[in-house]
């Protein structure tokens, strides 16, 4: 259940009634209600859009999408470059590097990531298709 911005107080007032009506439905059985942080990760549409953009970027730049090994060394593909540049890196206590993953991003975070990829592309003269929304 989402709450429209500016309607938070109204929702809080209705919440006890909502809970009471829910409890009446379960016929006296014990109920546990848990409120947790929203952990909704990127949507399938966002992920499909991102990978379609990577294919377009590859076609325009001839830069590989995924990492590859050549001439005795690893080279970063565009996917890894975007993650490093736009999501950042984390270091473990032992100094090991971990690159953040898009699969762990929430929908809003993935929207921001997509916007940065779109801006990067525009700066390089690459026009990416723009859906009505990125969700």
Q: What are the boundaries of each domain within the chain?
A: 44-123
Number of residues that make up the chain? 135
pLDDT of residue 135: 47
36-62, pLDDT tens digit by residue?
Answer: 665 566 788 898 999 999 999 999 988
- Choose from 4-13, 25-34, 49-58, 85-94 the range with maximum mean pLDDT: 49-58
Say what the alpha-carbon torsion angle 95, 66, 118, 57 is, to the nearest 10 degrees.
150
- Percentages helix, strand, coil for the chain (3-state, rounded to 5) are 50, 10, 40
Q: Above pLDDT 90, what percent of the chain?
A: 28
Are the beta carbons of 84 and 99 closer than 8 angstroms? yes
pLDDT of residue 23: 61
**What are the residues whose beta carbons fall under 8 Å from the beta carbon of 116, sequence distance 6 or more?**
82, 85, 86
Here the tokens at position 19 are: 């809970």
């Amino acid at each position: 259940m989402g709450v429209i911005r500016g309607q938070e107080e109204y929702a809080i007032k209705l919440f006890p009634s909502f809970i009471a009506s829910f409890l009446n439905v379960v016929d006296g059985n014990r109920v546990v209600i848990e409120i947790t942080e929203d952990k909704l990760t990127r949507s399938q549409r966002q992920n499909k859009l991102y990978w379609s953009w990577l294919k377009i970027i590859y076609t325009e730049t001839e830069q590989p999408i995924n990492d590859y090994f050549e001439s005795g060394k690893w080279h970063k593909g565009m996917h890894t470059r975007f993650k490093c540049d736009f999501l950042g890196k984390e270091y473990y206590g032992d100094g090991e590097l971990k690159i953040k993953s898009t699969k762990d991003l929430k929908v809003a975070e993935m929207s921001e990531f997509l916007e940065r990829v779109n801006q990067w592309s525009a700066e390089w003269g690459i026009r990416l298709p723009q859906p009505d929304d990125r969700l």
